[in-house]
Amino acid sequence: MDSQRVRKFTYAALYLAIAMVLPFVTGQVPQIGSMLLPMHIPAILCGFMCGWQFGLAVGFIAPLLRSVTFGMPPMIPTAIAMAFELAVYGGMSGWLRQRLPDKKAMIYVVLLISMIAGRAAWTAVRIFLAGLSVSEFSWKLFLSGAILDAVPGIILQLVLIPILVMTMEQAGLSLSRN
């Protein structure tokens, strides 16, 4: 295995570890801790920094592993829906970053498209799971879970992720275009 691939695996493992630990940090602020969407950030960053395959894998594994390890988020329906959502975030951010022009403004384009696609995946899985369990997934639940409750996390992602991506790329820490 070449050193570039080893670095990607190492970085991906680090992003997975951050996704496992970050909810403990944000959980110290009970009113908005979960609203900050702490596991989303490492999945998206992994896609940007390591490429779509690693972002997709870290995004998919993180909520499932955290559910099995710590019992949070609950496996059904939350961790399963989040696994697909975060996989799309990580995969899409890496895939688009590799294909769009290498300009700072494109970071925001990639991020916005990834966030919308991830929320669409979350919604599709929640509807699917609701159909399996004969429970209801309403428009009100969608607005609450996908948008209203997530506003602090969405704002945090839109502010923090571009800064982190630009800083890490400038420091030569991005492996996604290699």
* Tens-level pLDDT at each residue, the chain (178 residues): 799 999 999 999 999 999 999 999 988 776 777 788 899 999 999 999 999 999 999 999 999 999 999 999 999 888 999 999 999 999 999 999 999 998 999 999 999 999 999 999 998 898 888 877 656 656 566 556 556 678 889 999 999 999 999 999 999 988 886 6
* DSSP code for 174: -
Where do the H-state alpha helices sit in 51-138? 52-70, 80-99, 104-133
Q: Give me the residue spans of the domains in the chain.
A: 3-170
* Domain 3-170, CATH class in plain words: mainly alpha
The CB density around residue 7, as the number of other CB atoms within 10 Å, is 14
Residues 6+ apart with CB under 8 A from 48: 55, 93, 94, 97, 107, 110, 161, 165, 168, 174, 176
